[in-house]
Amino acid sequence: MMPALEVRGVEKTYRDPVSGRAVHALADIDLTVNQGEFISLIGPSGCGKTTLLKIMDGLLPYDAGSVLVEGQPMTGPGSERAMVFQAFALMPWRTVRDNVGFGLRIRGQKGPDAEATIMRYVDMVGLAGFEDAYPDQLSGGMQQRVGLARALAVSPSILLMDEPFGSLDAQTRNLLQVDLERIWEADNKTAVFVTHAMDEAAFLSSRIVIMSPRPGRVHEIIDVDLPRPRNDATRTDPRFVELTAYIWDTLRQMIVREERAS
């Protein structure tokens, strides 16, 4: 089966808008994301996780290397990819129904079929009964569910998520992780997920990509040997506890080495 995403030798340097100096963000990134995988990117702050995700989405140019999407060279954003950001980015003057259907309207889809799609994903993310509510009537977790439903409604095969639960409290994060696991299993998507949380990466992922400090490189890729579907019992599995501790120890050593070298 053809990989969903292939990143080959990607390099990225940008200019700091304050100092004007060149910042080498990514160095020789090689990564293959298979169809139906859930990949998490984790690493020290500033290692280029979000930069890499935006490159995968076609939102940022890169300086060297190549990116293939389903076997074809990437030329920019595409309908097979959808992005979910940490900021909810909902239109406050539109209802849940209208926010979820925004991408469909952009593509000229309307009528009963579009409405059925909207309601399918409103229901899938647990917001049935709130379709006529406005964002300011929703909790932070509910707003992020709207953002997820909006991304899913346009039927992407690849879902790219940039710390989507990063601004939420711990209890809400745990609930949404279980929901995302369920949705990912049901909808058969390929997912690339940026996170700073070791336990979140361990809970959700098929594989975890640990990135090194800037310039970001692939330091290690870990296969996650935890049964699916994941649920609250997963968090007490000794393998989960061990994996979370291993990720933290790896990151801690990186950070200490970086501090000593600076």
Instruction: Assess whether pLDDT exceeds 70 at residue 169.
Output: yes
122 and 59 share one domain: no
pLDDT mean over 153-165: 91
Domain membership of residue 56 (yes or no) is: yes
The residue among 81, 53, 50, 34 whose CA lies nearest residue 196 is: 50
21 and 126 share one domain: no
**Residues 127, 91: Cα–Cα separation, whole Å:** 17
pLDDT over 90, % of the chain = 61
44 and 90 share one domain: no
Averaged pLDDT of the chain: 91
- Is residue 174 within 8 Å of residue 141, measured between CB atoms? no
Residues 23-56: tens digit of each pLDDT: 899 999 999 999 999 999 999 988 999 999 999 9
Residues 129-142: tens digit of each pLDDT: 999 999 999 998 89
Domain membership of residue 48 (yes or no) is: yes
pLDDT mean over 89-106: 90
Instruction: Assess whether pLDDT exceeds 70 at residue 262.
Output: no
Domain membership of residue 164 (yes or no) is: no
Question: Domain range for residue 113?
Answer: 85-155
Of the listed ranges 148-152, 198-202, 209-213, the least confidently predicted one is 148-152
Instruction: Assess whether pLDDT exceeds 80 at residue 5.
Output: yes
Give the pLDDT score at 166.
84
**Residues 134, 152: Cα–Cα separation, whole Å:** 19
Instruction: Provide the number of structural domains found in the chain.
Output: 2
H helices within 79-211, ranges in order? 96-100, 102-106, 112-124, 140-153, 170-187, 198-204
119 and 43 share one domain: no
Give the pLDDT score at 165.
87
209 and 233 share one domain: yes
Higher pLDDT, 67 or 154: 67
| Rg value, the chain, Cα | 19
**Residues 9, 21: Cα–Cα separation, whole Å:** 23
